[in-house]
Structure 1
Amino acid sequence: MSLARRTLMNAAARLGWRRAYETTAQIDALLTEQTDTAYAGAADHAALATAKHHDVLAVQPGVLDVRGRILADVLYLEGVLTGARTRGLPQELIDRLEDAVDHGHELAVLLAGTVRTTATGTP
């Protein structure tokens, strides 16, 4: 996908417009693209994190940011789950959404614990 098209699609997504895919082949292609894009920057992230995160307090803001984004996304998924239940969508979809929501909440709890370990003061 071209950079211009991806940029336009990202801008549309921020406005709440999203494209639905009808086949698993289309979804698999998108999932592969998302994975490739994420891993393409992984080496840069590792190098930056190594240089920047010299002590526990330097780690804290990034972990807090990630937890906040995950929690917001999980709450969004809870809304999707509620809608799926209300509309009587397939049980397999509901089960998968429940698993994703549960896992997201577990991840948010784990990250909160991680952030707590970065506090240098005593309570």
Structure 2
Amino acid sequence: MSLARRSLMEAAAARFGWRRAYGDTTPVDALLTEQTETAYAEALDHAALATAKNADILAVQPGTLDVRGRILADVLYLEGVLTGARNRGLPGALIERLEDAVDHGHELAVLLADTVRTAAAVHAAGN
């Protein structure tokens, strides 16, 4: 199936709240590779834009705060997935990976909150 057709079908399914599950690692690996390539392609100009935009310490704060909010929301979603997996008695290996992802997500949210606070503290101290 072509990428365009698959993307269209997945976009239509997502609109109705449906998500596709994969029972084989081959399409999962292909999807993960595609996600990675897309993210890196879209990020090519991030450094240049960030350099131009982040002229002082407080300019870093809003974007960092936005990222923290998205990560925290996603981690809380994953906590629900983890709870459901536990309640359904899904395999321990899956539970462990979900626990790791949730723990790491919370750690990342804490680090980003600290970054936002640091920007405010350093600014208040006069840089």
- Length-normalised TM-score, structure 1: 0.90
Pick closer, same or farther for the CA change 1:14–1:107 going to 2, 3 Å. farther
Pick closer, same or farther for the CA change 1:102–1:60 going to 2, 3 Å. same
- Matched residue, 1:80: 81
Aligned length: 121
Distance 1:12 1:121 in 2: 48
- Matched residue, 2:124: 121
- The residue correspondences of 1:27-42 to structure 2 (distance < 5 A) are 27-42=28-43
- Matched residue, 2:71: 70
Name the % identity.
75
Q: Which runs of 5+ in 1 are unaligned?
A: none
Distance 1:34 1:115 in 2: 28
Distance 1:14 1:61 in 2: 29
- Length-normalised TM-score, structure 2: 0.88
Matched position secondary structure for 1:112: helix
- Matched residue, 2:26: 25
- Once the two structures are TM-superposed, the CA of residue 47 in structure 1 deviates from its matched residue by 1.3
- The residue correspondences of 1:99-118 to structure 2 (distance < 5 A) are 99-118=100-119
RMSD of aligned alpha carbons: 1.6
Larger Cα-atom Rg: 2
After superposition, the C-alpha distances for 1:56-90 in whole angstroms (9 at most, x for unaligned) are 11111100000000000000000000000000000
Q: Which runs of 5+ in 2 are unaligned?
A: none
Amino acid at match of 1:16: G
Distance 1:5 1:87 in 2: 30
- Matched residue, 1:89: 90
Q: Which runs of 4+ in 1 moved over 6 A?
A: none
Pick closer, same or farther for the CA change 1:84–1:68 going to 2, 3 Å. same
